[in-house]
Structure 1
Amino acid sequence: MEAIEMSEITRGATATGRMLGPAIARCGWSVWEWLARPLHYRAVHHLHVAAETHDRDRLRTFVAPTVSVVVDSGHGGPSGIRVVQGFEDASIVLEHGFTRTADVLVDERSVNNQAGLIITRAGAPIASVAVDFTGRFITMIWIRLEPAGLRHWNSV
């Protein structure tokens, strides 16, 4: 057998490591998103249930104190957008929006390929809710009223 110098092995490993570095980083991020996805869907479920039952103590466990709720009327223009900041004001908006009525259904679905909610009235979508996270806390809730993109909703 031929003797291989240690420097040749080291050079090959170093070159391979430099080439694989960005690929491993991308793979690591994908793995993190894959692992966090069930946690996010579970948090959105808890958000839905806690807001629907007006349970502020439960909301407080997974919603950040500095949460922002952005409500977009869907009619375009800056006058159709309202922002509510802070837990107390946000919880009032969420409780009002998720209150159960006979013809309104809040369904847990993917919105923009993330955990979210679709609110329907008599089978027609009237709002979509997307949720952003920082760590394990919900930090931003985006509510789009009369979402034009959902007129031709595709069921999976």
Structure 2
Amino acid sequence: MTDPQLPAVLSERRQLVNLAYRLLGSLAEAEDVVQETYARWYALTERQRREVAAPGAWLTTVAGRICLDLLGSARARREQYVGEWIPEPVPGRSAWVDGPAPADPADRVTLDESISMAFLVVLESMTPAERVAFVLHDVFRYSFAEVAEIVGRTPAACRQLASSARRRVDTARVVPNPRHAEVVRDFKKAWETGDIEALIGLLDPGATATADGGGRAATFPEPIHGGEQIAHTLARVAAHVGTLHLLERTVNGQPGLVAEDGGRIVSVYAFDIVGDRITRVWVIRNPEKLRAWS
């Protein structure tokens, strides 16, 4: 017999992946969470499923709790990670990125804004409870009463968690600017031509570059601080890897670059740009984090 709730249940998949990715910073883990969530739904008896008045809310609650548990163990796992850990980059506007962007109060963020690398990196600095409360309320617009059901705390406590998280996020708010694509394009040209002076001019003097190879791809092991130091490092990379082809792509909703070698994406570059200067460069080379780009 066909489950009459099946269409409604399956229609929640994109929302669940959207939520889990922002909570975990990993598309692969988000997919696993959604699979586990559906497994728990179909582990219910037919009668139990019929008694669920709002399947979407049930699925979100379960997915949120799974993510909360995973976040609790993620820090221990990442202490064993080789080198720096950067959230998994996602390309363009895709099924796990796209979503409604209705008018919101000023202290809330849009789905597009919440996918930026700068935003995700700040989320990594939060406690699991802060991250879940903030993302559910400020990004996905759940009430604090609903958040409390997932986090296992009172609505008042969840409000405090979200407020604490919001203060950190304010430093990573992305202001859309058409000029940013031009900055990335100029950066690409300067890098390809080995124009170190142009690179230095595009990088903020206090810029930081961080790379994630996960022990599976060669990269600089420690963050590089200073625009001039970053420019010289990139020039050395270009000199030693002459077969790379740089392509302009949207990375986590922002202008970025990917490096292609023989038709295979080997690196993804995300940027944080303030005004006309690049303040952060994130380099993702761990092949496990590049599967969505193949």
Q: Same fold (TM over 0.5)?
A: yes
Moved more, 53-62 or 117-126: 53-62
Distance in 2 between the 1:87 and 1:21 partners?
Answer: 36
CA contact (8 A) 2:196 2:235 kept: no
Deviation track 1:83-112 (CA, whole Å, cap 9, x = no partner) reads 0011221012222334572x4211110111
The AA in structure 1 aligned to 2:105 is P
1:86 to 199, 209, 226: 226
Match of 2:276 in 1: 136
Deviation track 1:30-80 (CA, whole Å, cap 9, x = no partner) reads 8x944x0x211110111111122121222233211111110111349xxx8
CA contact (8 A) 1:125 1:151 kept: no
Match of 1:39 in 2: 179
Mark the structure with the bigger radius of gyration: 1
Gaps of 5+ in 1: 1-19
Aligned sequence identity (%): 27
Higher relative contact order (CA 8 A, sep 6+): 1
Task: Tell me the matched-pair count.
Answer: 126
* 2:286 paired with 1:146: yes
Q: Secondary structure at the match of 1:95?
A: helix
1:22 to 93, 105, 127: 105
The AA in structure 2 aligned to 1:153 is W
CA contact (8 A) 2:191 2:235 kept: yes
Q: Secondary structure at the match of 1:22?
A: coil
* 2:204 paired with 1:64: yes
The AA in structure 1 aligned to 2:253 is N
TM-score (normalizing by structure 2): 0.37
Match of 2:190 in 1: 50
Distance in 1 between the 2:206 and 2:267 partners?
Answer: 23
CA contact (8 A) 2:200 2:231 kept: no
Q: Secondary structure at the match of 1:141?
A: strand
CA contact (8 A) 1:129 1:144 kept: yes
Match of 1:17 in 2: none
Q: Higher strand proportion, which one?
A: 1
The AA in structure 1 aligned to 2:203 is V
Q: Secondary structure at the match of 1:61?
A: helix
CA contact (8 A) 1:67 1:85 kept: yes
